[in-house]
Structure 1
Amino acid sequence: MPWEEEDARRHVARTEELLAGLDTLPDNVAAARALECVEALVDLYGECLGRVMEHATSGEGDGALARRLADDELVGHLLLVHDLHPDPADVRARRAVEQVRPQLQSLGGDAELLEAADGAVRIRVQGGRGCSSSPDALEQTVRDAVGGAAPEVERIDIETVQAPEPETLIPVDALFKGRTLTGRGAG
């Protein structure tokens, strides 16, 4: 039975925990052997996955299967690990920025990918206003999204601009147009 997305995330976290624990084993020879075994298994599965992607993109198909595989969160990350993802880094970075925009907008911010080339991306982040939307938090959200979607990007340059002041509903001076302000008791 296939895992639900949350099951997959838990398993990924547990796997990372187990791999990190290899460094703490008291027997260095056994730890090195275990790590070598894991690396050999990852290489084997990578080769198998490469063949799956080759079948998914060749023949009579239009690449729709490869697209569906790449769009699956768990498979897509595995394709990234093995450098098999069908989309180039700039496309994935652009998609990541687009996917994170609603979250940023809900915090009063926004983001726009300005440039993606030669292992670097340049992004403009419009900072929100208020406690929950500090420019640093918005920038980190964008960095995490782009880094997760395109881990081979070596540099993420972010230009932060402050969000404009919100317009008031009724400008104060409009309340007094055509009226003369006088002091109390005048008249």
Structure 2
Amino acid sequence: MTAPVAAPDAELTGRRVEELLDRLIEHGDAATAATAEELVRVLMDFYGAGLARIMHLVERRTGADGPRAALLGDALVSSLLVLHDLHPEDAAARIDRALASVRSQDAVEVAEFAPEIGELRLTESGSGGCGCGGAVDRPAVEGALSCFAPEVTSVAWETRRAAPELPLLQISRRPPTAAPVS
């Protein structure tokens, strides 16, 4: 049995492609830079067609469950589907999927997503509910968002403080030796 091959990080790969294209534009001639950009477009079209075929086959043969769910839950596959505009879920569903992949359901909630500017406001609860401070791994959340919902270009964090605990009110009968209330 062979060990699984580590998948490349989609965010880092995207940055690397941009850096290489920028370097060609800065240091190469215009024809070379244009050829490199065309090469990237041709490869994107090729892989996009392959991904479209995969999605078609999976949906036709398995319905909504099974391999389709696994494909959509995978950060690398999901980012490729989004990159090629093939992802069947809308941005809100993919944002929820990204958040669910890195945190418990009640640690962070979406306050608002402004798709026209790409800003996502997240509200982080000030406590994990047990008084232990339930901190969220913000870089992990932002990394998951970049894979599952790349249209999120910035994240604004807000902290919701837990309501102060009220003192415990004891209701019981008066001790037998207590004086009656007049």
TM-score category of the 2 structures, normalised to the smaller one: 0.5 to 0.7
Distance in 2 between the 1:68 and 1:142 partners?
A: 20
Alignment of 1:1-187 (within 5 A): 4=4, 6=6, 8-9=7-8, 13=12, 16-17=15-16, 19-25=18-24, 26-28=27-29, 29-58=31-60, 60-63=61-64, 64-102=66-104, 110-114=107-111, 121-127=120-126, 141-153=140-152, 156=155, 158-162=157-161
Distance in 1 between the 2:63 and 2:88 partners?
A: 13
In structure 1, stretches of 5+ residues that fail to align are: 168-187
Q: The residue matched to 1:9 in structure 2 has which SS? A: coil
Contact 1:93 1:146 in 2 (8 A): yes
Distance in 2 between the 1:73 and 1:3 partners?
A: 19
Distance in 1 between the 2:13 and 2:113 partners?
A: 34
Cα deviation, 1:64-116, whole Å, max 9, x if unaligned, reads 332222223322211111111222221121222233324x99xxxx2123556
Residues 35 and 166 of structure 1: is their aligned pair in 2 closer, same or farther, counting only changes over 3 Å?
A: farther
In structure 2, stretches of 5+ residues that fail to align are: 128-132, 167-182
RMSD of equivalent CA atoms: 4.0
One-letter amino acid matched to 2:82:
L
Contact 1:125 1:138 in 2 (8 A): no
Residues 10 and 116 of structure 1: is their aligned pair in 2 closer, same or farther, counting only changes over 3 Å?
A: closer
Distance in 1 between the 2:76 and 2:114 partners?
A: 26
Percent identical: 31
Q: The residue matched to 1:70 in structure 2 has which SS? A: helix
Q: Which has the larger share of helix?
A: 1
Contact 2:10 2:76 in 1 (8 A): no
Superposition TM-score, scaled by structure 1 size: 0.60
Deviation at 1:32, TM superposition (A): 1.9
Q: Which is bigger in relative contact order (C-alpha 8 A, separation at least 6)?
A: 2
Distance in 1 between the 2:38 and 2:70 partners?
A: 32
Alignment length (residue pairs): 155
Deviation at 1:46, TM superposition (A): 0.6
Contact 2:75 2:147 in 1 (8 A): no
Contact 1:67 1:86 in 2 (8 A): no
Superposition TM-score, scaled by structure 2 size: 0.61
